Chains A and B, each alone.
Chain A
């Protein structure tokens, strides 16, 4: 797989910045980040209305001041077991806002553009397709999510019940 393509900045990021700010959070043992410009807001524990028949990764709908937003279990999107995750990272996706459910919110991290690297080839499975780059930080490895792919939950792609 060509390395140059993988190290491209995440979709939607402005290209003329020297550094990129990432809103970071944890899902299980994964340290993940999303371009801060794509994050609309972070919510704790909004009421989620389940949607019967929806793909398992979709946990339901939340009422964001009258706007109806689909809540997606980010863990499930990355191939983990769906569990109760309480923090909602609402991102602006192409087709409207989507809330990503994560375990714990971390800091906003600023990474120089040169600090991006390709997703390691050793990383396999569902998660691989959902990442756009990695950023080795001093004490951890930040995985950058491809928002367009993470939010594109399709029943046929997920294997609906």
Chain B
């Protein structure tokens, strides 16, 4: 991989910085040791330090460094375990060992390797002490007789017992100073280039966090001053404000940069994960990465680490097929997992894509119904996207069997929760047979988020943009129509969908001021629930600095934090999932359905209740289809309608879907749907008109029903009046005060009954 050498350099750099820190600690420990030579704690600390350096040097194949630290470690082990008492000779040789380590580190930093270092002298000296063959300067304590050597080479070389320091120091020093000298336009006093230790410091992330907050404040103050300056005629003030503007922008950038790390920090581990995992699953997977240099705030990187790993595992485990299956599907044996990261409008986008089998919405739907996550009725009303979204519901897993890769209780719901916790979002697109792309969008930084500022009563509140889908403004004349109350539950019809409404004032117990009859609805999304939040006024969108609330307020689920606004006042940040939970949005949606049933005057016995999908036909007639027959609702462009013989069809999931019109039998412009009829001609509009198709299932066959509008889903006792009974209609009943025909699906689908239709489809394919 191209970046591997860079990666290695970085590891060496880190190792050097860390080792130098460790050596400083070592010096302190030795000083302490002189005062209390018997301290086990200190000896253990010294041992750990040397052990760490040894371990890493072995890993990075710095042979000489490993050699030195290895013998040093042996000696220290004896000291630590009390098998040896620290005497002058031991101290001396230990210090020599530390010096040698230091020299070797300098050598590594200068040349990238330690092969040129001569360590035999020190090593022998340490070994001599270990073996007790060195002539101790001072007589060691008699206690220290321990004949047990700990893993030393059996051949001590007594010849080299007392080598002087020169052999160690001299070559290292020269080797160290020479290659470090660049072309040399630096002043002579600065002989060495900045070493890794001098060039970087470790900073507590909290300190940076604080710095970031302060810069946030500065940016807000700057905004205020810029505003003042804009209104002022004082040229000096304007100039100063302009300079302040420039400086604070650069400062903000610089501070943000201190916390930025490239995506590769996370990705570097993935090739190994993918390799192991694909071997485990018997798959062949290539990992392709784009945008590994894309930078992201450190705390966010940490937060997306687990979700990312999970998504990658998912792609290998569930997405990409085994080599055999791939060949059968006409794909190359090796699957490709593509990671892509890039910046987009102030956010970081990370895509995890595979070219595997894709997600099967039908299988997902079935599974969700089996697990009781949704009812068959709810499923039928869902768009394809919503169906895919089901995999984010808690308790969902598409794995047929629990493998040791998946199935450890962490599902996509956790992935989504973790991403949303940091203000991000997860999105799935999947093409059956071609693969799945999971798109994770995360803010660049946590501290400053874009927000929509709304007013309710006298105060302003901030709604994170991440939760905002759209704004709906209703004029006074529309407001009464736009907000309907279904047994006290306010709802809004948004493009044919019923959107439960929450009133922010009502939720917070704050009176509305100056709303009049108009209503502003912020359409928000929390998990998979969408709802409208009715507010007094939308003020502006602004970048805000998120501050936590005090301990006494953290239990308020309506608020996620607070932000200081440009005028110094505080605005509370609304917690959208918290509001949704407090307002029972999920169950509100459910109760709307049941309330509609009651309003229809059909409270009756629950036992006979049937769910009906009520639609309006092109002929402005209300008709109902039993919901359990409905497979899906689709919106297709009118141009997708094609004709085969006298039948209208659309291409649907690799098959042909026959389309019928419920008005077919008797409407004034009847006949099996001629496209365009009853449809406003598409003149002057670039938008291709669409038609709504109710896909329903009859036996093994899908049939599309072309309708003008989806009205509602109601639950009613199916007591049919025979009055409306005729061809194509089972009878009629009254729903919400409207006479509604219940379609005879069987009759409508009859021309397309399984075998006939199959034959017909065979026929059409042959053409």
Q: How many residues of A contact B (CB 8 A)?
A: 28
Contacts of A154 in B (CB 8 A): 552, 555
Instruction: Tell me whether A49 and B509 are in contact in the complex, defined as CB-CB below 8 angstroms, given that A58-B553, A69-B550, A154-B555 are known contacts.
Output: no
* A45-70 vs B, Cβ < 8 Å mask (1 yes, 0 no): 00101111111001001110011111
Q: Once the chains bind, are A55 and B568 in contact (CB under 8 Å)?
A: no
Query: What is the interface residue range for chain B against chain A?
Result: 20 to 34
A6 within 8 A of B: no
Within 8 A of A (CB), among B520-562: 547-553, 555-556, 558-559, 562
Given contacts A49-B569, A49-B570, A66-B214, contact A155 B555 (CB under 8 A): yes
Q: Are B509's CB and A68's CB within 8 A?
A: no
Question: With A68-B550, A70-B549, A95-B550 in contact, is A51–B559 under 8 Å at CB?
Answer: yes
* B217 contact set on A, CB distance < 8 A: 66
For residue A145, give the distance in angstroms from its CB to the closest CB of chain B: 16
In the complex, A72 Cα to B552 Cα: how many Å? 10
Please, what's the 1-or-0 string for A147-161, where 1 marks a CB less than 8 Å from any CB in chain B?
000011111100001
CB-CB < 8 A to A66: which residues of B? 213-214, 217, 564
Does A98 sit at the interface, judged by CB under 8 A?
yes
B539 CB to closest chain A CB (Å) equals 15
What sequence of 0s and 1s flags, for each residue 325-358 of chain B, a beta carbon within 8 Å of any chain A beta carbon? Answer: 0000000000000000000000000000000000
- Closest partner residue, chain B, to A156 (CB atom): B555
CA distance A49 to B572 in the complex (A): 9
Residues of B within 8 A of A70 (CB): 549-550, 552-553
| Complexed CA–CA distance, A154 and B510 (Å) | 21
Report how many A-B pairs have Cβ atoms within 8 Å. 73
In the complex, whether B183 has a CB less than 8 A from a CB of chain A is no
CB distance from A51 to the nearest CB of B (A): 6
Chain A's closest residue to B545 (CB) is A66
In the assembled complex, the CB of B212 is this many whole angstroms from the nearest CB of chain A, namely 12
A52 touches B508 (CB 8 A): yes
Question: Assuming the A-B contacts A68-B562, A68-B564, are A51 and B551 also in contact, with contact meaning beta carbons closer than 8 angstroms in the complex?
Answer: no
Alpha-carbon separation in the docked complex, A55 to B552 (Å): 9
Contact of A53 among B213, B547, B551, B558 (CB under 8 A): B558
Say yes or no: B509 contacts A52, CB within 8 Å: yes
Proximity bits, B563-577, A CB within 8 Å = 1, else 0: 010001111100000
Asked whether, in the complex, the Cβ of B508 is within 8 Å of the Cβ of A61, the reply is no
Measured between beta carbons, the chain A residues less than 8 angstroms from B571 are 49
Residue from B549, B551, B558 in contact with A68 in the complex, judged by beta carbons closer than 8 Å: B549
In the complex, what's the smallest C-beta–C-beta distance from A32 to chain B, in angstroms? 19
Q: How far, in whole Å, are A155 and B553 apart by their CA atoms in the complex?
A: 8
18 pairs from A and B in contact (CB 8 Å cutoff): A47-B569, A51-B572, A52-B508, A52-B509, A58-B552, A58-B553, A61-B570, A61-B572, A63-B569, A68-B548, A68-B562, A68-B564, A72-B552, A95-B551, A96-B551, A154-B552, A155-B552, A155-B556
Residues of B within 8 A of A (CB): 213-214, 217, 459, 508-510, 547-553, 555-556, 558-559, 562, 564, 568-572
A49-B569, A51-B559 given; name 18 further pairs at CB < 8 Å: A47-B568, A47-B569, A49-B562, A53-B508, A54-B553, A61-B549, A61-B570, A61-B572, A62-B570, A67-B547, A68-B548, A68-B564, A70-B550, A95-B551, A98-B552, A152-B551, A154-B552, A155-B555
